[in-house]
Amino acid sequence: MEKITNKQALLDRIRFAEGAEFEYNEAAILDAYKAADENKASLAIKILSILGGVLAMLAFLAFLVISGLYSSEIVMTVVGSLSIASAIVINKISQKLILDTFSISIYITGFVLLAFSLSEIHVGENSIAIIIGLIALSALVITQNYIVSFVSILILNGSFLFLLLNTEVYDLIHVYIAITSFILTYVFLNEAKIISATKKLAQLYYPIRIGVLISFIIGVSIVGKKGGLPLSQNYIWISSIIFISIGMYVVSIIGKINGITAVKTKGILYVFSFLILLSTLFSPAISGAMLLVLLCFLVNYKTGFVIGILALVYFVSQYYYDLSFTLLTKSILLLVSGVLFLACYLFTTKMLGNNEKI
């Protein structure tokens, strides 16, 4: 209730500042915030409900195996298609939690059954991935339910990755990373524009944001694990160049927001930032995690910021573990890196704390 009161006071201040001609639907805005608060309050329940739905899906698949129905390709195709369609219809007509949970379970079940049945009638693996991806994309367009949209984005992402890996053109992972990086940056930096564009985009924004973020982390994880894929080390720096370029752009935005205008101060900030990012040239996972931290810090997205910090710690540890140096050399590298980070932190803290003078 206190948050709603604060929002109402904020609206009053905006109305006073804009003048008598400023118009807005106060009731609709406050109702939207109330709905958001209710959704946040029930997040734990939703997570448990989704887990229950997954268990229900596994139980249903076990029933199909025991009953022998899995051997009928026609039955599996029809049941899978109906499950996906039913989930979409349910989410279009109702947003109740119990139905939401039921729909997500049959939605996932539908994709599993459909993929299995298509493989049984000897449809090519790449064709199955394309079909599954197109269905997920269609569901994303049709329904704006948070969980269904989030799952659809992950399925679409999984289909794209499967095509990439199944064709064994592994170095194209850099193209995948570039696409997700630019989408992630655009989504984070244009929140207001996307939300205000259409009602459908406003409803899709939050599942798209977390869905693209996880897709980005998945791509970065693939190049972050040495030996995970037979990637050419001659091209491993490509993803880092993308991350460094976007990261420097984000740093420039942060500098402008904090009122940093002095040429000397800006130069020091850019040099420090560039050196830190450049040091990760042959470890794109680290620079990717840094980019995520910078983006989340800029837009004050706390969930993403925590994910970015955890990813950064993991990728640094992974890189340290994969180094073929002696323990002493590894320790020196970590020491130098730590000193560089601390120096950058002390500099930026002092600089931002005295931004009135710069």
| pLDDT value of residue 20 | 61
Weakest mean pLDDT among 36-40, 55-59, 74-78: 36-40
Q: Which two tokens stand for residue 263?
A: 């040429």
Q: Give 77 or 337, the one with higher predicted confidence.
A: 77
Predicted TM-score (pTM) of the model is 0.78
* Residue 75 pLDDT level (bands cut at 50, 70, 90): confident
CA 310 – CA 318 distance, rounded (Å): 12
- Sequence-ordered list of residues with C-beta below 8 angstroms from that of 232, at least 6 positions apart, any chain: 171
Average pLDDT value for residue range 16-33: 61
State the angle between helix axes of 125-142 and 73-93 in degrees (0 to 180), rounded to the nearest 10.
20
Which residue in this structure is represented by tokens 């180094």?
A: 323
The domain locations on the chain are 1-41
Is-contact 269 255, C-beta < 8 A? yes
Residues 170-215 pLDDT 10s: 888 888 999 999 999 999 999 888 887 777 888 888 888 989 999 9
**What pLDDT, on the 0 to 100 scale, is given for residue 246?**
93
* Interval 144-163: pLDDT, tens: 777 888 889 999 999 998 98
Where is average pLDDT lowest: 21-25, 182-186, 216-220?
Answer: 21-25
